[in-house]
Amino acid sequence: MNCEFPSVNSNDKEIIEIFKNTKTIAIAGLSPNEDKASNMVARYLQNAGFKVVPIYPKEDTILGEKVYRSLDEVPFKIDMVDIFRKPNAIAEVVDACITRGDIDTVWTQLGLVNNEAAKKASDAGMKVVQNKCTKIEHANFF
């Protein structure tokens, strides 16, 4: 696997604005396993007041929320998609965000960078954050 540095990324001021304007966060790859990073981050975000929408291929509920198999199944507005998927799956998630047309921000977690997908999201009008943890960034600023 090639290691990429983010060529498209929001700065601290933009990240603060993203959090201020975000109410609903879909988490692509939200594991039901409480020991996994995606679950710990989602729990933190719920406790911080965000509506968390699990996107996962199995389970009916995770963290008390209805699980959707894909972004296109979610019947309401999503402000941010927080991606916990491998770098080669990021492009597929970004394409789903573009198809929906109502996603404001695409965020990839620590260690996850896909500059081609990030540019595509940015060109489609979305804010992009790569290689940063929503839990850490939110705790730093709020």
Domain ranges of the chain: 12-136
**pLDDT tens-digit readout, 124-142:** 999 999 999 999 999 999 9
The average pLDDT across 18-29 equals: 98
**pLDDT tens-digit readout, 76-126:** 999 999 999 988 899 999 999 999 999 999 999 998 999 999 999 999 999
Q: 12-136: what fold?
A: Rossmann fold (3.40.50)
- What is the length of the chain? 142
Looking at residue 5, what is its pLDDT?
74
Looking at residue 3, what is its pLDDT?
61
Looking at residue 21, what is its pLDDT?
97
Looking at residue 1, what is its pLDDT?
41
Q: Report d(CA 132, CA 81) in Å as an integer.
A: 13
What average pLDDT does the structure give for the chain? 94
Up-side HSE of residue 30: CA atoms within 13 Å toward CB?
31
